[in-house]
């Protein structure tokens, strides 16, 4: 059941910024005033979150990794958007991740995971290492790599779990390039999609450098098009921007293409390496 929208977006953004700045007592002071209206209310979610916020030795109250649904049938990880996105640009105007902020448990999970990442928490490491073998993991459905330390933290974990197939989308391009230029190795089991809407969209040399990274599959571009545009219409719009090899996202991960009779998600493999995957802004 949908929770009453008692927390406006500007207040949610304030809480996100305070969490990213590690001003946890300020967060507690605000969320402790949320009324507890029963199951799935903001007050109930806040009450569940406050003990962890004040004492990190307490078990994280929300699942760190979530197992998806028919639209995202993989394990996934999210943290707060915008405040964890150093490469953000035009995407701030239409960030789909903010839609999750109408749901208190989704919002507080993002707050929780932001803290776990920033502290490189043993709880996060343990949760990652307990993921089932040979499974697909989408890293950052919401949010992004927020620092060089975070990037190195994840790549160490991913390298140590070579059985996992990890993929994601990122606008934190400078972090990747600095990592590569320092001579560090990328995990062989990680696939990167270059996400549009970043502050680098008009920086051709930066894009070209990112496209050459060994982990890069290609670009993932959100197109502003009339609602419910057809696949052909999206392709035609993409072509006007100079895109050539184009694949339109069907909207359901894992239903894109077939290989040996099995569904394979295009963004998580290199079967469509060099192809631009496009989707309508949503």
Window from 15-19, 83-87, 107-111, 254-258 with minimum mean pLDDT: 254-258
CA distance 139 to 157: 12
Is the separation of the CB atoms in 222 and 196 below 8 Å?
Answer: yes
Instruction: Output the pLDDT for position 33.
Output: 94
pLDDT reading at 203 higher than 90: no
Instruction: Output the pLDDT for position 48.
Output: 95
Instruction: Output the pLDDT for position 5.
Output: 53
b/e per residue 8-46 (b: at least 16 CB within 10 A): eeeebbebbebbbeeebeebbeebeebeeeeeebbbbbb
Residue 66 token pair: 């979530």
Instruction: Output the pLDDT for position 6.
Output: 67
pLDDT in tens, 238-258: 787 777 787 777 777 766 766
- The whole-chain average pLDDT of the chain stands at 87
Task: Provide the 3-class DSSP secondary structure of residue 76.
Answer: strand
Non-local CB neighbours of 80 within 8 Å, separated by 6+ positions: 16, 19, 20, 110, 111, 113, 114, 142, 143
Instruction: Output the pLDDT for position 165.
Output: 93
Instruction: Output the pLDDT for position 13.
Output: 94
Question: Is the pLDDT higher at 5 or at 179?
Answer: 179
Residue carrying the six token digits 């049938």: 73
pLDDT in tens, 19-39: 999 999 999 999 999 988 877
Q: Classify the C-alpha dihedral 118-108-175-215 as positive or negative.
A: positive
CA distance 62 to 48: 9
Instruction: Output the pLDDT for position 43.
Output: 94
Helices (H) and strands (E) in the chain, counts: 9, 10
CA distance 81 to 254: 24
Instruction: Output the pLDDT for position 1.
Output: 43
CA distance 40 to 239: 44
pLDDT reading at 195 higher than 50: yes
Beta bridge partners of 248: 278
With a pLDDT cut of 90, the percent of the chain lying above it is 59
Average pLDDT over residues 88-116: 90
Q: How confident is the model at residue 196 (pLDDT cuts 50, 70, 90)?
A: confident
């Amino acid at each position: 059941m949908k929770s009453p929208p008692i927390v406006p977006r500007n207040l949610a953004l304030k809480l996100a910024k305070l969490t990213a700045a590690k001003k946890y007592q300020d967060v507690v002071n605000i969320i402790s005033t949320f009324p507890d209206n029963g199951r799935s209310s903001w007050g109930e979610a806040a009450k569940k979150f406050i003990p962890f916020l004040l004492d990190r030795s307490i078990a994280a109250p929300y699942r760190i990794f979530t197992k998806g649904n028919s639209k995202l049938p993989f394990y996934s990880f999210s943290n707060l958007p915008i405040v964890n996105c150093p490469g953000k640009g035009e995407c701030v105007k239409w960030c789909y991740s903010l839609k999750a902020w109408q749901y208190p448990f989704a919002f507080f999970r993002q707050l929780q995971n932001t803290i776990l990442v920033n502290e490189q928490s043993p709880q996060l490491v343990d949760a990652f290492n307990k993921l089932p073998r040979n499974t697909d993991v989408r890293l950052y459905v919401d949010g992004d790599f927020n620092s060089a330390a975070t990037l190195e933290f994840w790549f160490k974990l991913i390298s140590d779990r070579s059985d996992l197939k990890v993929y994601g989308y990122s606008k934190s391009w400078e972090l990747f390039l600095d990592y590569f230029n320092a001579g560090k190795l990328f995990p062989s089991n990680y696939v990167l999609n270059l996400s549009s809407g970043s502050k680098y969209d008009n920086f051709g040399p930066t894009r070209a450098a990112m496209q050459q990274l060994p982990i890069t599959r290609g670009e993932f571009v959100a197109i502003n098009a009339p609602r419910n545009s057809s696949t052909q219409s999206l392709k035609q719009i993409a072509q006007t921007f100079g895109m050539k090899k184009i694949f339109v996202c069907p909207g359901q991960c894992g239903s894109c293409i077939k290989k040996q009779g099995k569904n394979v998600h295009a963004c998580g493999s290199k079967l469509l390496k060099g192809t631009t995957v496009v989707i309508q802004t949503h």
